[in-house]
Structure 1
Amino acid sequence: MGVKIDIIAAAGAFLIDIGDGRSTLVYSKEASSPDLHTDGGPEAMTELHRHLKKSGRDGLATVCITERNACRHFGEVFWLRHSAAYQAPDRIRIDELRVPASLLMEEDARDGDELVRREALFRLRQGKGVLVFCGVPSVRAWVDRHGVDFDRNQHLFVDMAGTGGRNRIADTPTSLPH
């Protein structure tokens, strides 16, 4: 089984084809020059649809958002579970959305950030389809404040501070880049 990595410059993303039928899209501004972030939505959608059609799929196994700057065209490309307004047939489905806790907890959300936040929160409330990378001690308080039962959904959080696996939130103060 071979792994193939494509760079979707218009979206500022890496598309990783695992080789077993699953693909992961990692949004990162490092994947493209900053000027391509401003108008990449339509090009990204075309490129992703081309890849999915070629592979016989209608969605991605995983979309990983690494930072706020990567959220700009999120609402133009993906099928979002939290709102029918983002569920057109030409949108790309996401099995699992992966986001840093810092993106969810930022107070000064922009349009794309807010869509990612709403989608992640919707999935957290459902108890599936999202993975939050933590290390921020106040993530539990944030989750509780937004009506999510933290104890029941610990499996949706990954401890990035190194204190132990997928089910444990860090007790030490650290932060993720945004």
Structure 2
Amino acid sequence: MTATLTFHPLGNADCTRIDFANGQKMLVDYADMRNANDPFDKRVDLPDVLKADLRVAKRDNYDVVCFTHLDDDHCCGAGDFFWLDHAAKYQGEGRIKIKELWVPAAAILEDGCQDSARIIRQEARHRLRQGYGIRVFSRPKKLKDWLEKQGLSLEARAHLITDAGTCVPGYSKYGQEQVEFFIHSPFGWRQDDNGIIDRNQDSVVFQATFLENGRETYALFMSDIDCDSIDQMVKTTKRHGNEDRLLWDIFKIPHHCSYTAIGWEKGEDKTQPTEDVEWLCETQGRERHVMVSTSKPMPVKGSAEDKDVQPPHRQAGAYYKSVAREADGSFKVTTETPSIAKPKPIQIEITDRGARLLTISAIAGAASIVSAPARAG
């Protein structure tokens, strides 16, 4: 069995399912954004497709659910879908259990959050207090202070905390799961220096390294960080001699294809990258890679959408497309589809030749799969 990554069409929102080689399942974010009362809403019915997949696998749980940060487009509807231990009202038949919950430290520390963000925060706090089923990324001083207010010490919960620049314990590319996770963000020092929580910049960014028959394939999950944070990440990685930790064959484009993840000027037709973003995209991306924008379709120049401050930005899309062309790669948008059809998930298989893009036919559905050739060895 080989690993697969499935990116769901949710508009400007995220939910990626990762199926490991040994059958374990992981979700990176969960955002049920579809309006069931709108017949023209093309976003996927996320609870339905995820539960259908779990039924086939004969399971009612995920081994890992990672919320990269608590913006609504990364956690919407979580309180309706998951079995959560901190309150009985989030328990009952049909709810999906989480063996291990991954969150940034900001998700523990944030006060004043509401709706789905508050629900996930409460679950994360409960698990951290109890000392089970949780992985927290980074240990700013504020986390130490919060734990002490709970009558706990940082040392007592250190086994549940992973810092940037290290791998998540319990996962190995040489183990049955055939994958390891290297954490790039959040930086604990950044949260201490800034004094306030910035969900996007304090979000979880990681490289997943898959090993299939001796061949390594790399996936970078960039969450919603901007170019300043990417610059810091690149400089820090280079300073520690870890450039290989920023190699990628699969690139989950940051912040739904916003130009701010490339440079601070949108540009007329193409955003110009900062020096570090250019290095990350143009040097570290390997031949025949796949770039995935979890977003709405790229706007047409001069359209109302083109003038919107919110992503996706066609200038950013133009930059990523140019990067893909130079590497004989692919640039894919999760919600880009002909007007007569609903978008299908983007699925990538990890093979012994690299990342293999699977395209599900919009007409025939899941029964028809056409594969792009894997990147050559």
TM-score between the two structures when normalised by the length of structure 1 = 0.82
Deviations 1:31-81 (A, max 9, x none): xxxxx73648x9221111101011111100000001112122110110001
Q: Distance in 1 between matches of 2:64 and 2:87?
A: 19
Are positions 1:173 and 2:177 aligned together? no
Are positions 1:37 and 2:33 aligned together? yes
Residue 131 (structure 2) aligns with: 127
Q: Secondary structure at the match of 1:20?
A: coil
Q: Secondary structure at the match of 1:174?
A: helix
Are positions 1:87 and 2:91 aligned together? yes
Residue 117 (structure 2) aligns with: 113
Q: Secondary structure at the match of 1:90?
A: coil
Aligned positions of 1:1-40 closer than 5 A: 1-10=1-10, 12-27=14-29, 37=33, 39=35
Deviations 1:72-97 (A, max 9, x none): 21101100011111111111000000
Q: Secondary structure at the match of 1:139?
A: helix
Amino acid at match of 1:48: L
How well do the aligned residues superpose, as a CA RMSD in angstroms? 2.8
Amino acid at match of 1:96: E
Over 4 Å off, 4+ runs? 164-167
Q: Secondary structure at the match of 1:98?
A: strand
Amino acid at match of 1:63: V
Structure 2 unaligned runs (5+)?
A: 37-43, 170-185, 192-201, 204-223, 225-377
- The answer (yes or no) to whether the contact 1:28–1:66 under 8 Å persists in 2 is no
CA, structure 1 residues 108+38, in 2 after alignment: closer, same or farther (shift >3 Å)?
A: farther
Residue 52 (structure 1) aligns with: 54
Amino acid at match of 2:84: L
Are positions 1:96 and 2:61 aligned together? no
Shift of 1:128: 0.9
- The answer (yes or no) to whether the contact 2:30–2:78 under 8 Å persists in 1 is no
Shift of 1:121: 1.1
Residue 147 (structure 2) aligns with: 143
Relative to its length, the structure with more helix (as a share) is 1
Q: Distance in 2 between matches of 1:172 and 1:6?
A: 30
- The answer (yes or no) to whether the contact 1:27–1:65 under 8 Å persists in 2 is yes
CA, structure 1 residues 136+26, in 2 after alignment: closer, same or farther (shift >3 Å)?
A: same
| Bigger-Rg structure (1/2) | 2
- The answer (yes or no) to whether the contact 2:30–2:75 under 8 Å persists in 1 is no
CA, structure 1 residues 39+119, in 2 after alignment: closer, same or farther (shift >3 Å)?
A: farther
Q: Distance in 1 between matches of 2:26 and 2:187?
A: 30
- The answer (yes or no) to whether the contact 1:130–1:156 under 8 Å persists in 2 is yes
Residue 32 (structure 1) aligns with: none
Q: Distance in 2 between matches of 1:166 and 1:21?
A: 19
Q: Secondary structure at the match of 2:45?
A: helix
- The answer (yes or no) to whether the contact 1:74–1:112 under 8 Å persists in 2 is yes
CA, structure 1 residues 126+133, in 2 after alignment: closer, same or farther (shift >3 Å)?
A: same
Q: Distance in 1 between matches of 2:150 and 2:75?
A: 21
Q: Distance in 2 between matches of 1:47 and 1:71?
A: 16
Q: Distance in 1 between matches of 2:130 and 2:189?
A: 28
Amino acid at match of 1:54: V
Identical amino acids, percent of aligned pairs: 30
- The answer (yes or no) to whether the contact 2:64–2:98 under 8 Å persists in 1 is yes
Shift of 1:107: 2.1
- The answer (yes or no) to whether the contact 2:163–2:187 under 8 Å persists in 1 is no
CA, structure 1 residues 122+39, in 2 after alignment: closer, same or farther (shift >3 Å)?
A: farther
- The answer (yes or no) to whether the contact 1:71–1:113 under 8 Å persists in 2 is yes
Are positions 1:78 and 2:82 aligned together? yes
Q: Distance in 2 between matches of 1:125 and 1:136?
A: 17
- The answer (yes or no) to whether the contact 1:16–1:25 under 8 Å persists in 2 is yes
Amino acid at match of 2:8: I
